[in-house]
């Protein structure tokens, strides 16, 4: 799908982000951001706000741990109630992690949500799944994610949706772009995602590669030590949650449930109902 062609910096005035931990920004802690996490969506909103020629508002309804159907059932209508002209949706990542998930069925359910999100002709950005081939732990999911992505691309063409191509984002295949839990990106990774999304939207920006900070060098010994810490701190609790049918998002509410103005560099201003 081609880039959006605009005659000004961008035409959008109200951006609403839907999804799970990826869109909530887990892995990128920032005390000055609402909810304590920044992520790619906040970064995109900051740029859109700075480049807007009029008032700009942003809401983020994403909640960590949410499955695809939960995102559609719980976030689509609240998003539409905010009357956005730009909507992003990333859904299905948690489903892909579960054994026996049918990527064709997931895509069918995504399409129902996309059809509703396009109801008022808002611009919709939909994310493909990342290529997990670089990850020893999640490499086995690669085929399932690839099938899901091909379905998503077909849906995007059918409904005139912009594709944010995580599969093709080579930068995040560097393990240093990921947080210590290896499930979520860190500030560097989310920064690259924000650059990719802004490029897909054809929005001028001055975000530079590998900023806000340079990549650290990690020795082999230190990496193996981190493997053990990761398994004990993150992987085992994740397995237990799967067995007990619990979610990391249980009891969590959206970090920006109403659309409001955006300040730069992760600083936020009070929200207002619109």
CATH code of the domain covering residue 184 = 3.40.50.1110
In the chain, which residue ranges form alpha helices assigned H by DSSP?
21-24, 39-51, 68-81, 93-96, 103-117, 142-159, 187-200, 220-230, 236-244
State how many domains the chain has: 1
Angle at CA of residue 130, ends 129 and 134, nearest 5°: 150
> What range does the domain containing 56 cover?
14-212+221-260
The pLDDT value given to residue 9: 81
Report yes or no on 48 lying in a domain: yes
Provide block-wise average pLDDT over 10 residues at a time, the chain (274 residues): 58 97 94 88 94 90 96 97 97 95 98 97 98 92 98 98 97 91 91 97 91 51 47 53 56 72 53 29
Does the residue 131 lie in any domain?
yes
Task: Supply the pLDDT for residue 272.
Answer: 27
253 in a structural domain: yes
The reply to whether 272 falls in a domain is no
Residue 173 and residue 189: Cα distance in Å, rounded?
Answer: 9
Question: Does residue 269 fall inside a structural domain?
Answer: no
Find the angle CA(232)-CA(167)-CA(157) to the nearest 5 degrees.
Answer: 140
Q: Is 234 contained in some domain? A: yes
Domain assignment present for 5: no
Residue 36 lies in a domain: yes
Distances (CA, A) of 69 to 174, 211, 234: 30, 35, 25
């Amino acid at each position: 799908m081609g880039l959006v062609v605009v005659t000004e910096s961008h035409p959008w005035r109200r951006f609403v982000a839907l999804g799970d931990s990826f869109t909530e920004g887990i892995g990128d802690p920032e005390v000055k951001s609402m909810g304590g996490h920044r992520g790619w969506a906040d970064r995109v909103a900051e740029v859109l706000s700075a480049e807007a020629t009029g008032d700009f508002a942003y809401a983020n309804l994403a909640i960590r741990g949410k499955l695809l159907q939960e995102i559609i059932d719980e976030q689509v209508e609240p998003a539409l109630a905010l009357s956005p002209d730009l909507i992003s949706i990333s859904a299905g990542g948690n489903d892909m992690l579960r054994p026996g998930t049918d990527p064709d069925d997931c895509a069918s359910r995504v399409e129902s949500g996309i059809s509703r999100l396009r109801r008022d002709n808002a611009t919709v950005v939909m994310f493909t799944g990342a290529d997990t081939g670089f990850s020893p732990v999640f490499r086995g999911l690669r085929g399932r994610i690839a099938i899901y992505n091909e379905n998503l691309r077909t849906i995007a063409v059918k409904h005139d949706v912009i594709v944010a191509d995580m599969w093709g984002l080579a930068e995040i295949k560097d393990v240093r772009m990921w947080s210590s839990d290896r499930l979520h990106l860190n500030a560097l990774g989310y920064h690259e995602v924000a650059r990719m999304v802004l490029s897909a939207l054809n929005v001028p920006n001055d975000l530079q590669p590998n900023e806000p900070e340079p990549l650290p060098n990690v020795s082999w010994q230190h990496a193996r030590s981190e493997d053990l810490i990761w398994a004990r701190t993150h992987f085992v609790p994740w397995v237990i949650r799967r067995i007990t049918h619990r979610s990391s998002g249980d009891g969590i509410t959206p970090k920006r449930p109403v659309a409001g103005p955006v300040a730069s560099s992760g600083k936020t201003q009070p929200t207002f109902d619109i």
